[in-house]
Structure 1
Amino acid sequence: MRSPRVPGFPGGTAVSHLRVYDWPAADGLAGGSPHLHTASAEGYVVLRGEGSLETLSGAGFQRTPLRPGSLLWFTPGTVHRLVNDSGDLEILVVMQNAGLPESGDAVLTYPEEVLADPDAYRRATVLPQAVTSAEQAARKRRDLAVEGYLELRARVRQEGPGALEGLYGAATELVGEKAAGWRHHVDQGPVHQARTTVRHLEALAEGDGKHLAESAVYTADSPSGPLRSGMCGHLRVWDLDGARRAD
């Protein structure tokens, strides 16, 4: 757990550097595993390369172009699929509620029969520890998520956003037992930071600026070694729990 002397990254967010998969999928497009987040928003800053973000949401199906400098974000429930057109698409990802998505907030768009079976969902999702095996399993996981996504996308195009109700119901069932345990990520992150800011504003209004003397710089390391296989690509996640004061 992060030392209480080290404040969290601004907004209680997490930050990662993502190299989107260049593996072709069944429809010929290269990219990541379509999925949604049940409680967290996500933001992208495109660093390199070109591609697009395909989404299914209350707005239906959308495709948003990605190029260096693009900035976009989306809210919980948005099914998102990163497409890597140039082969070198790299993104800085800012994830709301640091620690919560890693605890199971994300749900992949597997075919309905997998989503309806928690054991089958777990078997399809968990990656082995070995790097080579994890790479193979990540590609298999991606392909299964694309299979379900393409079926869902066709339904959304034909029926509208209402076609997402089945996925949303399955996602709610899959995370329901875990959701109560996620509260501490929010309380220790964005809620704590917001309350701290309120205290600072109240103090400043009273002419008290003592907290300014506590100013400091903090640093966090990106894990060494090979890139990790994530849902959308190979990534490095900054170790915010290991953050330290730069003295």
Structure 2
Amino acid sequence: MAGFPGGTAVSLVTVYDWPTADGQAGGSPHLHTASAEGYVVTAGTGAVETLSGDGYERRDLARGTVLWFTPGTVHRLVNGSGDLQLVVVMQNAGIPEAGDAVFTFPEDVLADPDAYAAAATAPAAPGLTEAERGEATRTRRDLAVEGYLALRERVEKDGPDAMRPLWDRAARIVADRTDTWRRLWADGPKAQADATGAHLDALAAAESAHLCDAHVGSAGDAVGKWGMCGRLETWDLRP
């Protein structure tokens, strides 16, 4: 069994304290199309706003809070205390990093593939300084918040059915990425689940060969990044 347990990815997120159009500080609202996401809050206070099949919800966050949400859930982290930090556990290590997320940009940007790609990838443009990457990340966040606030208003007025156009656009945006994702899934989460099945078969027969392969893995040093919701410390946990 290779890779981090469960084929998951883990990152440490220090949520942005940049203010937004509605006066709240935080990150870029977005959804994931194939992967569930979990939060373990380690410091500070704040909230997460979500738009899903349950409509609009807001949940308070404080040290020790653990919550998670399924694909399609729009989530927006709000930094209330200025020092909100959390460990994020992502299903399907490798797939989120390969473009699983879709931002809640305004409708005209979501409808234009070139405009969407330009806005989504701006912080990764070659040749930028760290300060310029930070500014590009903030500009991207502001555009996502603009679209999110309009979407939240529609959901509060019309209910969860107002999410359907975003879900449809998200599926179209990522459709051509799924061949790559399928290989990542097969080599990671599926391989681990299959290995567990084989281990159970062996143990049922009182066979211990897989225990003789016991070892300890290490991810090495974390890499800092400008993330969607905050400054990230990430590790490569794939096989």
After TM superposition, the score normalised by the length of structure 2 is 0.96
CA RMSD, 1 decimal = 1.1
Equivalent pair of 1:222/1:236 in contact (CA under 8 Å): no
Could you tell me which of 229, 232, 235 is aligned with 1:235? 232
Structure 1 runs (4+) greater than 6 angstroms displaced? none
Confirm whether residue 88 of structure 1 aligns to residue 83 of structure 2: yes
1:27 maps to 22
Q: Which amino acid aligns with 1:167?
A: L
Q: Which amino acid aligns with 2:43?
A: R
Describe how 1:29-108 pairs up with structure 2 within 5 A: 29-108=24-103
Q: C-alpha distance in 2, partners of 1:221/1:64?
A: 34
1:138 Cα deviation after fit:
0.2
Describe how 1:77-226 pairs up with structure 2 within 5 A: 77-126=72-121, 127=123, 128-129=125-126, 130-224=129-223
Number of positions where the alignment pairs a residue of Structure 1 with one of Structure 2: 235
Q: C-alpha distance in 2, partners of 1:222/1:132?
A: 23
SS of the equivalent of 1:77 reads coil
Q: C-alpha distance in 2, partners of 1:45/1:223?
A: 18
Describe how 1:7-26 pairs up with structure 2 within 5 A: 7-26=2-21
Q: Which amino acid aligns with 1:234?
A: R
1:214 Cα deviation after fit:
1.0
Q: Which runs of 5+ in 1 are unaligned?
A: 1-5
After TM superposition, the score normalised by the length of structure 1 is 0.93
Percent identity over the alignment?
Answer: 57
1:220 Cα deviation after fit:
0.6
Q: C-alpha distance in 1, partners of 2:37/2:79?
A: 18
SS of the equivalent of 2:28 reads coil
Q: Which amino acid aligns with 2:174?
A: V
